[in-house]
């Protein structure tokens, strides 16, 4: 794998909650020692699925489909498998399939923020703007609800948000941009106006 692909795969593995410190919040806690072993094996299988399907080749796409079917039979209710396969479909530029899989993930877990963000991005990519607006509102509501839960977790009083730091307005930013912009030169052979 190239350095860029391995870096992106590492980020995706982290976003999927597989083998890194980044957790999305939907990993299932094992109940016993055998559950911990089964969880570790499943994480390794999902990581293998991502590595198998990551290259944009026909053979990788077919191998990932076979591996996905095997994992779905092994753990039918685990949405991490569906989410990982949706990431593969995005990498393979199969946007409709990825959209369908992300819909399955969100139907199974309404609080899956990463899936919601991908759904919004994918809808925008497909220029489905009415769907972008609806999904963005649902994502904003989900993030707002999460902040309320986090804020009240330790039974503290709801404090007002701190004021935003002083920043230049957009008018100032535009003026700075225009001041540093180079004007295009007129071609030599053109006639003056």
**pTM listed for this prediction:** 0.62
Residue 35 pLDDT class (50, 70, 90 cuts)? confident
The larger pLDDT score, comparing residue 34 to residue 88, is at 88
pLDDT tens-place string over residues 156-191: 545 555 555 555 554 555 555 555 556 566 666 666
Where does 16-167 have alpha helices with state H? 33-53, 58-74, 79-91, 95-108, 113-125, 129-151
pLDDT tens-place string over residues 88-108: 999 999 999 999 999 999 999
- Token pair, residue 125, equals 């990519």
Using the 8-state DSSP alphabet, how is residue 56 labeled?
S
| C-alpha–C-alpha distance, residues 27 and 35, integer Å | 13
Is residue 46 over pLDDT 80? yes
Using the 8-state DSSP alphabet, how is residue 189 labeled?
T
Contact 67, 14 (CB under 8 A): no
Average pLDDT, the chain: 75
């Amino acid at each position: 794998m190239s350095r860029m692909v391995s870096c992106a795969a590492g980020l995706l593995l982290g976003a999927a909650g597989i083998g890194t410190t980044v957790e999305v919040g939907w990993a299932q806690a094992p109940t016993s020692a055998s559950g911990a072993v089964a969880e570790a094996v499943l994480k390794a299988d999902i990581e293998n699925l991502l590595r198998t399907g990551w290259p944009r080749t026909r053979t990788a796409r077919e191998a990932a489909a076979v591996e996905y079917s095997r994992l779905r039979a092994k753990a039918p209710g685990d949405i991490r498998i569906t989410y990982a396969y949706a990431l593969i479909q995005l990498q393979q530029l199969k946007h409709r399939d990825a959209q369908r899989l992300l819909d399955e993930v969100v139907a199974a877990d309404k609080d899956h923020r990463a899936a919601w963000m991908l759904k919004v991005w994918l809808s925008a990519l497909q220029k489905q703007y009415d769907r972008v607006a609806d999904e963005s509102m649902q994502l904003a509501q989900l993030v707002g609800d999460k902040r309320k839960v986090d804020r009240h977790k330790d039974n503290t009083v709801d404090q007002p948000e701190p004021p935003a730091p002083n920043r230049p307005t957009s008018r100032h930013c535009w003026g700075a941009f225009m001041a540093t912009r180079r004007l295009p030169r007129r071609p030599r052979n053109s006639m003056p106006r």
